[in-house]
Chains A and B, each alone.
Chain A
Amino acid sequence: MKELRGLDAVKCTCGHVNPPGTTICESCGRPLDEGEGLLNMRYEGAARRSQRRPRSIVDYVWRFFASVKAAVWMIAITLIAAIIGTLLPQEQFKQSSLPAEIFYPQTYGLFGEIYYRLGFHNLFYSWWFLTLLLMIGISLVVCSIDRAVPLYKALKKKRLPKDEGFFRRQRLFAELPGDESAYAKLREALKKRRFALTEGEGTLLAEKGRISRFGPYVNHIGLILLILAFMLRLIPGFYLDDYVWVWDGETRAVPGTDYYVKNETFTVTYYTEDEFPDPSVFRPGIVKDYQTDLVLYKKEGQRLVEVARGPTKVNRPFEYQGLYLYQSGEQTDQLYGLVLDVWDKQKNESVGRIRLSLYDPPETVDVGGGYRVNVLEYYPDLDVNEKGEPYTKSTTPNRPAFILEIVGPGVETGEKNWVIAGMDSDQILPDKRFKYKLADLDFRNRSGLSVRIDRGLPYVYGASAIVMIGLVLGFYWQHRRIWLRLRDGQLLLAAYTNKNWYGLKRELAAIAHSAGITLDMESIEQRRKNR
C-alpha cells in the first residue's frame, strides 16, 4: 500500500480541482493514479491532512501520530511490556514485607535483580508505560480526525462516478449488455432490498449500512473518553483508595474522610454438608460468606452522629453517598485485649474487673466501688533502652505493658503500678496495695475494609458504552454500495463493501436474479494482486 506523500492540488480531466493527496477524483470518480490494480477505497480516495507536504513541526508531529503503522508499533510495544510485567508479581502483589530491592533478588535470583533494576516490578505505574498509553491516546485522536473528517465529507457527498476507470478498478465489477429496462429492473430490485438510491447524470448509487464506516471512529472516541475517565481520579476528591482494620465492637475513623465506622459484628459462615451439591467432596471449613455489620458515623463537634448502618459482604459493598466500604480482609480469633482482676491485697478481695484493649486502650476505666483505673502509659512491644527507660519497639502487641494508676477509697492520690504481659505484678513491685491478675484473654475478630471513593466510575462506564456502540456498528453492520451506469447499450456494474465480500456477492446475485439477469459470481470478482 503506497501512500501518496507531498502532492500538490490535482486537477482532474473533468475540471474538478482536488485537494493534494486525493487519489480518486471527488467529482467524477476518475482514478488519479496511473496504476491498473484495484482501487484503494479505504477513505474513498480522499485527501488527508497527514498527506500534505509537511511544512512545520506540527505537520511532522501530526504525520507521526496519524500513522496507523506508528500506532500499531505503540500498541505492540505496550503489549510486550505488559507481558513482561506479568512474568513476576508486581510490587503491589508480592505478598511479602520485604522491600522490593531485597524481595526480587532474594526470591527470583539474578532474573529478579534485573527485573527490579529495569523497573518492571512497578511497570504499570511507571512513567514510560503511562507515556505509552498517553501516546496511544493521542494517536487515537489524531488518526480519527485525520481520517474521519475527509471520510465523512466524501460519504456525505454521495459521489456519482462517471469515469469508467472507477468501475473497472473495483473488486466486484461486471460489464453486461443491457438497456433502459434492465437498468430499471435492477433499480427496482435494489430498492426492494432497502438500498438508499441516489441518481444523476446516468449513474445510480445504491448504498446501505453507511453508519458502519463510522464505527471505528465512535469506538476510538470511546477509548479516548475512557482514558480521560480514568484520569479523572487525579482530581482531588474524585478518588480515594485506603484500608482500615476494625475490631468487633470497635469504632474507627475512616481514613481520608470525616466518617467513623463501627464494626458491630464480623461473621464468617461456613458451608454445611447439605449445602454441597456433591456431598462426596465435602470438607468442613469452606467459607460461605464474610460479613461485617457496620454503622457509619459522622463527626459533628465532639459527637458521633449515626448516618447509616448495614452489612458489607464480598461482592456486596456498603455504600453511603459515594463512599464504598468493601469486605476485603479478615482475621479471626486474634488476641484483642486483656481482662484483669483488680485485687486489693489488704482486704484480699477483688475490687472488680477491667478490660484493656491492646490496640486502643481506654484512658480511664470505672472499676466500681468508687474505684477508677487510669491508663497512664501503654507499650505494645516493651523493651528497655541503654538508659534503662522503657520504650516500645513497634506498634504490634508482641509484649504489651501498661502503667496503670488506681484512684479510689484509700488511694485518693492514686497508686501506680506496672502490668506486663506474662509477669506477675508482685514480681515487679511487691509493695503495692493493688495488683492486677490476668483473669481472661479477649479474643476477637477483625474485619478489613477497603475504603473507596471513585466518582469517575460512571464516566468509565459511559465511555465503555460508547466503545461498545462503535464496535457493534463497525463489526456487525456492513457498508454496501453498488454503482450502476448505462452507456451505449452496456451496463457497468460495480460494488464495494468494507467487509463480508462473500455476503455482498450473494446479495448481488440475488438482486441480479430478481432483475432477470444472470451473473456469474466467480467471474465478477477481480483478485487483489500482490498477496
Chain B
Amino acid sequence: MTDLLAWASGALFAAFALYAASTIVFFIAITGRRWRGAASPKAHTEAYGRRGFLLALVGWLFQLAFVVLRWIGSGHAPTSNMFEFMSFLAFAVVLAFLIVYRLYPVALLGVFTLPVAVILIAYASVFSTKAAPLIPALQSYWLYIHVTVAALGEGAFAVGFAAGLMYLILAVRQDRRSIETAFIEVALWALLSLVGFIVMSFAFRAVGHEVVFERVINADTGAKETTIYTLPALIQPHGATKVTEGGIPPLFEAPEWMKGVNAGRKLNTFVLSLLAGTVLYAALRVVARARLGAKLQFWLKDADIDLDLVDEISYRAIAIGFPIFTLGALIFAMIWAAEAWGRPWGWDPKETWALITWLFYAVYLHLRLSIGWHGKKSAWLAMLGFVIVMTNLIVINLVLVGLHSYA
C-alpha cells in the first residue's frame, strides 16, 4: 500500500516536471521564431509546438499513473481532500488542453495553460499529501462521478481562462496606460501572489518554522485554543498570546469580527501571500522596466496569431466545459445530495457557489451569443468566470462553513 503511494508521488512529480518543461518548450516555440538557424518561423513554431504537446501528453500520462496508483493505494478515487482535488484539477486542465489543442493547434495556448497546471499541482502540495480513509459522508461512488466530472468541466473553464488572458495580453494596447492595462497588471499580481504563497509555504516548511499561539476560549474552565502558524506570524489571532519564545512579535491582531475557524491564521496567510506577490511583482517590474503585460506582449507578439482565433478558442473551451460542468457540478451533485442528505438542493454554500458559477457562465454565453459580446469583453468575462470557479474551490472550503468543509 505505502509502496504504491510512494510510486504515485513519484509519478506526480514527473508529471509536474514535464508540464514545466512543456511550458518552456511552448514558450520557445513562440519566442524562438527569429533564431538564427531556425527554418521558417512557421516551421519553427510547428516543430516546437509538437514537442511541447508531446511533453504535455507524456506528463498527463504520468499524472494518469498517479491517479491510478493513488486510487489503488488509498482505496478511493483521489478526489477526497484539498491535495487530491487540486492535483486532479490540474489533470483535468491538461486533459482539456490536449483536447482543445487537437482542435486548434496554437502553440501560444500551451504557454498560458500549462503554467496553470504547474501552479495547481504546486498549490495542491501545500496541503497534507497523506492518504486517509474516507469519512462516511464521502463513501459513495458519487464521489468519483460528481467530483471528477465537475473537475473536468472546470478544467475546460481553465483553458477558457488561459485563452482569455492570452487574448488580453495580445489585444490590449500597451503603448499607453489604461484601465485595461491596470486590470491585466492586477491579474498578474494575483497570480504572483499565489506563486508567492506556494514558495513561502515550501520554504518555511523546509526550515521547520513554527509559531504557536494560545487563546483562552472559556474563562470559567480555562480551556485554551492553540493555533500553530507555519508561516511567519504577522497577524496573530484575536486575543491570543504567543507561546513560542523568540522571534519577532506579531505586528497586528486579527479583528474581532472574524469568527471563522482559524480566522487569524487565514488572514495572516492571505496578507503574507499578497505581500509576497507584491515583492515578486515589484522585482519583476524592476527587471523588466515595463508593465509586465507590456513585456509579455513584447515577447509574444512574434506569435503572429489571429486574434479572432484566440477569441474563438476561449469561447470554445467554455462551450465544451459548460455541459460537463452542468452535469458534474449541478446534476450529479443533486443526485448525490438527494442520496446522502435527503434533498437534491439545500442552498449549502458550495452548492450555491456551483449555481453562481453556472449562472455566470450562462450570462457569458448569452452576452456572447445573443448580445454579441466578442473579443476583449468576452475575454474579461472568461477570466472572471475562472476566478469564481477558484473562489468556490478554495475560499468556500477554507473560509466558509458548510457541508463541504472536508479539507
Interface residues of A (CB under 8 A from B): 1, 42, 68-69, 71-72, 75-76, 78-79, 82-83, 85-86, 89-90, 92-93, 95, 107-109, 111, 124, 230, 241, 271, 275-281, 286-290, 313-315, 317, 324, 326, 328, 450, 452, 454, 457, 460-461, 464, 467-468, 471-472, 475-476, 499-503, 527-528, 531
B352 CB contact (under 8 Å) in A85, A527, A528: A85
Closest chain B residue to A290, Cβ basis: B136
**In the complex, what distance in Å separates the CA atom of A500 from the CA atom of B343?**
39
B367 CB contact (under 8 Å) in A72, A82, A111, A315: A72
A68-B370, A107-B259, A452-B343 known; A472 and B130 CB under 8 Å?
no
Q: Is the CB of A289 within 8 A of B136?
A: yes
A277-B1, A315-B140 known; A271 and B331 CB under 8 Å?
no
Q: Is the CB of B371 within 8 A of A1?
A: yes
Q: Is the CB of A281 within 8 A of B334?
A: no
Nearest CB in chain B: distance from A262 CB, A: 20
Residues of A within 8 A of B401 (CB): 89, 93, 95
Residues of A within 8 A of B362 (CB): 75
Residues of B within 8 A of A92 (CB): 347
Residues of A within 8 A of B133 (CB): 271, 275-277, 286, 288
A83-B356, A277-B131 known; A93 and B402 CB under 8 Å?
yes
A-B contact pairs, 24 of them (CB 8 A): A42-B370, A72-B366, A72-B371, A75-B363, A75-B366, A79-B360, A86-B400, A107-B259, A108-B257, A124-B352, A278-B2, A278-B74, A281-B130, A281-B132, A286-B135, A314-B139, A326-B342, A454-B342, A475-B320, A475-B323, A499-B319, A502-B103, A527-B308, A528-B374
Which 6 pairs between the two chains have the least Cβ-Cβ distance?
A471-B323, A314-B136, A68-B370, A452-B342, A315-B140, A277-B131
Q: Is the CB of B309 within 8 A of A502?
A: yes
Residues of A within 8 A of B344 (CB): 454, 457, 460
Q: Is the CB of B335 within 8 A of A454?
A: no
**In the complex, what distance in Å separates the CA atom of A92 from the CA atom of B132?**
31
Residues of B within 8 A of A107 (CB): 259
B1-24: which residues lie under 8 A (CB-CB) from chain A? 1-2, 5
**In the complex, what distance in Å separates the CA atom of A95 from the CA atom of B360?**
30
Q: Does B64 contact A (CB under 8 A)?
A: no
Residues of B within 8 A of A124 (CB): 347, 352
Q: Is the CB of A313 within 8 A of B257?
A: no
Q: Is the CB of B74 within 8 A of A468?
A: no
Residues of A within 8 A of B366 (CB): 68, 71-72, 75
Residues of B within 8 A of A315 (CB): 136-137, 139-140, 142, 339-340
Residues of A within 8 A of B309 (CB): 502
Q: Does B345 contact A (CB under 8 A)?
A: yes
**In the complex, what distance in Å separates the CA atom of A290 from the CA atom of B136?**
7
Nearest CB in chain A: distance from B172 CB, A: 13
B215-265: which residues lie under 8 A (CB-CB) from chain A? 256-257, 259
Main secondary structure of the interface of B (DSSP, over half): helix
Nearest CB in chain B: distance from A527 CB, A: 8
A315-B140, A461-B335, A476-B323 known; A278 and B353 CB under 8 Å?
no
B127-183: which residues lie under 8 A (CB-CB) from chain A? 128, 130-133, 135-137, 139-140, 142
Closest chain B residue to A69, Cβ basis: B371
The winner among A109, A324, A475 for most chain B CB atoms within 10 A is A475
Q: Is the CB of B75 within 8 A of A86?
A: no
**In the complex, what distance in Å separates the CA atom of A279 from the CA atom of B312?**
50
**In the complex, what distance in Å separates the CA atom of A315 from the CA atom of B141?**
10
Residues of A within 8 A of B339 (CB): 315, 317
Closest chain B residue to A269, Cβ basis: B136
Residues of B within 8 A of A108 (CB): 257, 259
Nearest CB in chain A: distance from B390 CB, A: 14
**In the complex, what distance in Å separates the CA atom of A286 from the CA atom of B138?**
13
Q: Is the CB of B342 within 8 A of A450?
A: yes
Q: Does B338 contact A (CB under 8 A)?
A: yes
A464 CB contact (under 8 Å) in B130, B334, B371: B334
Residues of A within 8 A of B104 (CB): 502
**In the complex, what distance in Å separates the CA atom of A390 from the CA atom of B148?**
61
Residues of A within 8 A of B334 (CB): 460, 464
Q: Is the CB of A287 within 8 A of B135?
A: yes
A82-B352, A277-B5 known; A501 and B312 CB under 8 Å?
yes
Residues of B within 8 A of A287 (CB): 135-136
Residues of B within 8 A of A78 (CB): 359
A230 CB contact (under 8 Å) in B142, B319, B326, B345: B345
Q: Is the CB of A468 within 8 A of B326?
A: yes
Interface residues of B (CB under 8 A from A): 1-2, 5, 73-75, 103-104, 128, 130-133, 135-137, 139-140, 142, 256-257, 259, 308-309, 312, 315-316, 319-320, 322-323, 326-327, 330-331, 334-335, 338-345, 347-349, 352-353, 355-356, 359-360, 362-363, 366-367, 370-372, 374-376, 396, 400-402
Nearest CB in chain B: distance from A31 CB, A: 18
Closest chain A residue to B76, Cβ basis: A277
**In the complex, what distance in Å separates the CA atom of A33 from the CA atom of B335?**
50
Q: Is the CB of B352 within 8 A of A313?
A: no
**In the complex, what distance in Å separates the CA atom of A290 from the CA atom of B140?**
14
Closest chain B residue to A470, Cβ basis: B323
Nearest CB in chain B: distance from A332 CB, A: 14
Residues of A within 8 A of B367 (CB): 72
Starting from the known contacts A75-B363, A287-B136, A315-B137, 7 additional A-B residue pairs (CB-CB under 8 Å) come to A93-B401, A277-B131, A286-B133, A290-B136, A326-B340, A468-B323, A475-B322
Q: Is the CB of B312 within 8 A of A277?
A: no
A471 CB contact (under 8 Å) in B326, B338, B347, B400: B326
A281-B130, A499-B319, A502-B309 known; A467 and B342 CB under 8 Å?
no
Nearest CB in chain B: distance from A291 CB, A: 9
Residues of B within 8 A of A71 (CB): 366
Closest chain A residue to B348, Cβ basis: A93
Q: Is the CB of A500 within 8 A of B316?
A: yes
Residues of B within 8 A of A475 (CB): 319-320, 322-323
B130 CB contact (under 8 Å) in A90, A280, A289, A528: A280
Nearest CB in chain A: distance from B318 CB, A: 9
Nearest CB in chain B: distance from A94 CB, A: 10
Nearest CB in chain B: distance from A313 CB, A: 7
Residues of A within 8 A of B256 (CB): 109
Q: Is the CB of A278 within 8 A of B132?
A: yes
Q: Is the CB of A1 within 8 A of B139?
A: no
Q: Is the CB of B372 within 8 A of A1?
A: yes
**In the complex, what distance in Å separates the CA atom of A464 from the CA atom of B137?**
24
**In the complex, what distance in Å separates the CA atom of A464 from the CA atom of B335?**
10
**In the complex, what distance in Å separates the CA atom of A314 from the CA atom of B137?**
6
Residues of B within 8 A of A93 (CB): 348, 401-402
Q: Is the CB of A468 within 8 A of B327?
A: yes
**In the complex, what distance in Å separates the CA atom of A12 from the CA atom of B273?**
65
Q: Is the CB of A326 within 8 A of B341?
A: yes
**In the complex, what distance in Å separates the CA atom of A78 from the CA atom of B349?**
15
**In the complex, what distance in Å separates the CA atom of A461 from the CA atom of B322?**
18
Closest chain A residue to B136, Cβ basis: A314
Nearest CB in chain B: distance from A416 CB, A: 40
Residues of A within 8 A of B2 (CB): 277-279
**In the complex, what distance in Å separates the CA atom of A315 from the CA atom of B335?**
11
Residues of A within 8 A of B259 (CB): 107-108
Residues of A within 8 A of B322 (CB): 471, 475
Closest chain A residue to B316, Cβ basis: A500
Residues of A within 8 A of B343 (CB): 241, 452, 454
